[in-house]
A = this chain, B = another copy of it.
Amino acid sequence: MADPVEVSVVKAIQENRLWQRHMEIAEIGATGRGGVNRQALTPEDGHARRLVLDWSSQRGFTASIDDIGNLFIRRAGTKPTAAPVVAGSHLDTQPTGGNFDGVFGVLAALEVLEAASDANVITTRPLELVVWTNEEGARFQPTTMGSAVFTGALALKTVLATQDSTGVTVEQALAETLKIAPVNEKREFCSPMAAYLEAHIEQGPILETTKNTIGVVTGIQGLRWFQVEVNGEEAHAGTTPRQNRRDALSAAVSMITKLQALMFDEADAVRFTVGRFEVAPNSPNTVPGRVLFTVDFRHPDQDVLSHLGNQIETVCRAEAKECDVSVVETMHSPPTEFDPIVRDLVRDAAKRQVQPYMDLISGATHDAKFMADHCPSGMIFVPCEGGISHNEAENASSADLAACTRILAEVMIQLANR
Interface of A toward B, CB cutoff 8 Å: 94-96, 136-138, 141, 143, 202-205, 221, 223, 225, 233-244, 247, 249-250, 253-254, 256-257, 260, 264, 268, 270-289, 294, 296, 298, 362-365, 387-392
Contact = CB atoms under 8 A, between A and B. Distances in A.
Given A277-B282, A284-B137, A284-B296, A271 B95 contact: no
A390 B253 contact: no
A281 B237 contact: no
A278 B271 contact: no
B204 A236 contact: yes
Nearest to A247: B273
A49 to B, nearest CB: 21
Given A237-B275, A257-B257, A96 B387 contact: no
A44 to B, nearest CB: 15
Contacts of A234: 94, 96, 390-392
Nearest to A281: B95
Contact of A282 (B236, B273, B275, B280): B275
A221 B238 CA distance: 8
B296 A239 contact: no
Contact of A235 (B95, B240, B391): B391
5 contacts: A94-B285, A95-B282, A141-B284, A233-B388, A277-B288
B203 A387 contact: no
A264 B365 CA distance: 43
Contact of A390 (B225, B235, B250): B235
Report the copy number of this chain in the oligomer: 2
A329 to B, nearest CB: 13
B391 A289 contact: yes
A387 B239 contact: yes
Contacts of A282: 95, 275-278
Nearest to A267: B241
B391 A96 contact: no
A237 B285 contact: no
Contact of A298 (B238, B250, B270): B238
Contacts of A272: 242
A260 B250 contact: yes
Contacts of A268: 241-243
Contacts of A240: 204, 271, 363, 387
A238 B239 CA distance: 43
Contacts of A273: 237, 247, 284-287
B388 A235 contact: yes
A365 B236 CA distance: 11
A364 B208 CA distance: 56
Given A244-B205, A250-B260, A277-B279, A285 B236 contact: no
Given A275-B284, A275-B288, A203 B137 contact: no
B138 A204 contact: no
Given A204-B239, A239-B364, A253-B256, A285 B296 contact: yes
A223 to B, nearest CB: 7
A239 B389 contact: yes
A241 B287 CA distance: 34
A129 B400 CA distance: 72
A102 to B, nearest CB: 12
A363 B276 contact: no
Contact of A236 (B137, B223, B294, B390): B390
B296 A94 contact: no
A282 B203 CA distance: 19
Contacts of A247: 273
A363 B296 contact: no
B296 A237 contact: yes
A279 B276 contact: yes
B96 A281 contact: yes
Contacts of A271: 237-242
Counting chain B CB atoms within 10 Å of each CB, the highest count among A241, A243, A268 belongs to A241
